[in-house]
A and B are shown apart, each in its own frame.
Chain A
């Protein structure tokens, strides 16, 4: 039936019968008091087949008044099956039934299958017109009352008009949710150009996609209309809106970039966005492609649905990302959010996806280039640490809940073809996914992109991206040839084709393993050294039967550090081979004094007395480059982990060694950890991790531990006054490594326990002194995070109360140490009311600490306090902490 000829790269539209080319959205009335919106949309549609008599569009929760097609009244039916998923079903009340019914309901209105909630009958007068494949104009009047999703109103309850109250509204939602606020084809693959008009109070500003063409006042000068034009073809799902009494800042470095924030926050906005131009420069440079839109807008709003939401030429951020120059901890986090948003402008907004199963390509690419930005901005160490963290996360998730499938292919069948039967939800639609699954999906996508980079090199990778962008760019400038616009959509097959064209390499096995198939690899490794043959006998087992795992066949890199240097070996992991013989390069020799060359060419002196006299092996690493999505459990002796911690220069190796050393509570481990802790050249996150490991080791060694409590003398040396070691220096956080260490050490120290399993009095007094003598007057930075962590430290020191006959907790039988702690918490929490800290970090820590005291039986377990802090009107971080405490009562 379909006669349309497709070009070789043609895109098969899911809607063979129509094609939106231009859409007008006009919202002429927004009522903040009633939280309602009135407006109309006008879609220009090209029929692509004759006898088109029904047009299906997406629309949710909108009330539709009137539909006209080419100025003729048209009949329409509105039916949203997701409103009542189970249809009075009373027998089968289980999650499985609901999940299936819900997936079916979502499918029934899926725009990618040509469906929709709104079905419009083309008036019979126009049938002839349609048969000639002439343009149709569909005009829909609609209104929206108290929307439950898609559009969020924030209206503070106070005196004054809406602008004075800082009332605002913004579009939000998960995946394609534009249908929540205007009728459209709510698909990422349906591109068209846009004209957007918003009439708002004169004191308000409407921010939307594309260029602001003009703002026109109404006759009475009380309202004005913002006209936006978006000439780059864009999917409805990438259309967004924010209206509020925003303060406006034109970026001083790039005049086409404008930032918007809520009243009074302009100084914070200035500081927060002052860095954005560097991110722009970075992406444009690596992609050798200019930012595709003619302008970019950032809007910071309250009660954000997600921290970062990217839309065409505009991003909506949580206002809580704003910070002043005094705040250290939030700075890198906010910059990450900005960089993420910008990466998605290229891949996600400008280049959209062909179908839901191609989502991984976009998430993968934007996540991958964001990673490159991380590497450049925060350094290789931070980057590798982040990759390791992401890898650990996805591995833990898949092993716990089952595999994450990047590129699901859905057959026509039902139950049997379900590629994710282990999950309690369908992965067929973005709307049926669990949020956690989707987060992990994005995580896996960018890790797989990194694997592809490992295979084809970064240079080729960037060339592929550049190719996708330049094709899309050319397509976007073509007018009215909507079939060309499909170049702006990316598909899995198109992406893979592009890779093979550019690199000439076959990455099919890699794709099959990680993209078409779910699961991660679980390795168990152990080794023996055969002295006679001078061979390392490595045994690598796999667990591929547990849920969430898969079998790995292929190359695996192993790095062996020997006395004579570091050597890489590539093993072939095959079906039945478990044992691998690796010849050693050096003979064991322990008496010769010679420097030992490391992987990076550095030569170091080592004290070799700890090692096995017969073996030349210092340490062994399996898959050091993280080129397999895996978990490795590797057995080597404690001294090898210690050498690895001290001398291996890769932060990931150091972190692995620290984790392994928890199981070896010996003086040698203690020494290795203390040395790392003191080493200023060492990556600060490794040093922070070493703190906690040291606390664990100290607790295991409690009966033989000598000297002052772990880390105390070190902290004293680093942060206390030379003349009076019990007093901490006045705060100076100019050196950030020291700052992070200073924050972490007390928290770790508070985990120390004596033989009675109590926190040593000395440690508690030490922490109390830190609080007492804390002096931030001369500091350029805020100490709110530091003080919050000191409260966390107090909470960590709490141990269960000794209770006699389940007596009721009263003030009289309060433990004297707890009394001291409680006094500090009371003072801190009360001071917060007078001098609130940034993001109320101190309140958050106090609430957590109070819950710990309750849980350990020192204070009566009463949720009343938390309930009051959980109320609407408290800062979101405080509410979350309070809610977590309330939820904790159920545990």
Chain B
């Protein structure tokens, strides 16, 4: 277009800007034409849709044929048609189920059976409470022991028996620079736990309200005076 208009060269930035403008102009024509066509309940835009669009965008349609037939236009040859790449066949497993009679044929096919068919297993998962608790307890214990032993082996230790340093290895006491921080702040594990239990808090709260919170049998004062420390605590802990 620039050469048609008589330019010999253009800066790269200018070309880019122009390209972008053309791009957005063309896509606006397309978007608008599609709207007009949809407005009249069609799916394919017709020539008249385009014309209306161009008119709407302030373009003089009359000038279009003349412009198309202008003498100095440059013809850009169409790019050679390349063969459509063959889409590799999706891996199929088993026979796809044919559509039942009530589903029209143009609907997509069923997915492969392995994606929705269930295979029942015949081994019961362990649900026995005692076994579960036992397992959780020993698992935790093993982890803790392994971890602390590892720490003890790799670091400094103290021992209760002078003759034996390996049976009951104690990780050496190390003073902190700011001792109160570790002592007061909850550990990350506890924080995480708190968040988890928070979700179930709602139920817990209603539970406690039903609990008998009056620990007293002293009726000498009015009923409300008998509230115990714990009662106060309860209501506060939840708030």
Contact = CB atoms under 8 A, between A and B. Distances in A.
Do A and B truly interact?
A: yes
Interface of A: 156-158, 166, 262, 264-265, 268, 274-275, 302, 319-320, 322-326, 328, 331-332, 375-382, 384, 599-602, 649-651, 679-684, 721, 723-724, 727, 734-737, 772-773, 775-782, 809-811, 822-823, 826-827, 829-831, 833-836, 838-840, 850, 853, 859-860, 862, 864-865, 868-869, 871-877
Contacts of A319: 180, 184
Interface in B211-225: 211-221, 225
A721 B216 contact: no
B44 to A, nearest CB: 62
A298 to B, nearest CB: 16
B160 A379 contact: no
A495 to B, nearest CB: 28
Contacts of A853: 160
A853 B160 CA distance: 10
Interface string B82-119: 00000000000000000000000000000000000000
Q: Chain B CB within 10 Å — which of A319, A375, A650, A830 has the most?
A: A830
B190 A158 contact: no
Contacts of A823: 168
Contacts of B22: none
A384 B171 CA distance: 45
B1 interface: no
Given A683-B216, A778-B200, A875-B183, 9 more contacts: A377-B232, A379-B226, A381-B216, A651-B218, A737-B213, A775-B137, A780-B201, A782-B186, A859-B160
Contacts of A835: 187, 189
Interface stretch (B25-33, B46-54, B142-150): B142-150
B162 interface: yes
17 contacts: A322-B184, A381-B215, A649-B217, A680-B212, A681-B215, A681-B217, A683-B216, A683-B217, A684-B215, A724-B133, A772-B141, A775-B137, A782-B190, A822-B160, A826-B170, A859-B160, A859-B161
Interface residues of B, number: 76
B43 interface: no
B216 A872 contact: no
B233 A380 contact: no
Contacts of B183: 320, 836, 838-840, 875, 877
A834 B148 contact: yes
Q: Specify which of A326, A375, A853, A859 lies most central, judged by the most chain B CB atoms within 10 Å of its CB.
A: A326
A779 B185 contact: no
B204 interface: yes
A599 B219 CA distance: 9
B180 A838 contact: no
Nearest 6 pairs between A and B by C-beta? Answer: A873-B175, A736-B230, A830-B148, A875-B183, A378-B229, A724-B130
B173 A868 contact: yes
Given A268-B184, A384-B218, A811-B164, A772 B144 contact: no
B237 interface: yes
A525 to B, nearest CB: 23
B126 interface: no
B193 A777 contact: yes
B209 to A, nearest CB: 10
Given A681-B212, A810-B164, A811-B163, A830 B171 contact: yes
A200 B202 CA distance: 47
A380 B223 CA distance: 10
Interface string B130-157: 1001101110010011011001100000
A746 B106 CA distance: 73
B145 A827 contact: yes
A865 B193 CA distance: 33
Nearest to B211: A735
A872 B179 CA distance: 9
A130 B177 CA distance: 55
B167 A379 contact: no
Contact of A331 (B158, B186, B214, B233): B233
B136 A735 contact: no
B236 interface: yes
Contacts of A871: 173, 175
A279 to B, nearest CB: 12
B194 interface: yes
B129 interface: yes
Nearest to B152: A830
B133 A775 contact: yes
Nearest to A679: B217
Contact of B160 (A275, A381, A860): A860
Contact of A264 (B164, B185, B204, B214): B185
Nearest to B237: A325
A274 B237 CA distance: 11
Contacts of B179: 873-876
Contact of A326 (B190, B218, B228, B232): B190
Contacts of B212: 680-681
B220 A834 contact: no
Contacts of B177: 156-158, 873
B208 interface: yes
B178 interface: yes
Nearest to A871: B175
A840 B226 CA distance: 33
Contact of B233 (A332, A683, A872): A332
B175 A381 contact: no
B57 interface: no
A780 B194 contact: yes
Contacts of A840: 182-183
A826 B208 contact: no
A822 B168 contact: yes
Contacts of B161: 809-811, 859-860
Contacts of B138: 772
Nearest to B228: A379
B61 interface: no
B176 to A, nearest CB: 6
Q: Give the most central of A379, A727, A873: most B CB within 10 Å.
A: A379
B167 A734 contact: no
B154 to A, nearest CB: 12
A302 B176 CA distance: 13
A773 B219 contact: no
Given A157-B177, A268-B185, A723-B130, A780 B204 contact: yes
A321 to B, nearest CB: 9
Contacts of A723: 129-130
B158 to A, nearest CB: 5
B42 to A, nearest CB: 62
A265 B187 CA distance: 13
B215 A862 contact: no
Nearest to A384: B218
B225 to A, nearest CB: 5
Contacts of B181: 264-265
Contact of B225 (A324, A379, A772): A379
Contacts of B172: 868
Contacts of A734: 204, 207-208, 211, 234
B133 A328 contact: no
Given A871-B175, A873-B175, A378 B211 contact: no
A380 B180 contact: no
B158 A868 contact: yes
B3 interface: no
A381 B226 contact: yes
A344 B158 CA distance: 47
A650 B220 contact: yes
Contacts of B186: 324, 326, 782, 838
Contacts of B174: 833
B129 A724 contact: yes
B19 interface: no
B160 A380 contact: no
A1 to B, nearest CB: 56
A328 B229 CA distance: 11
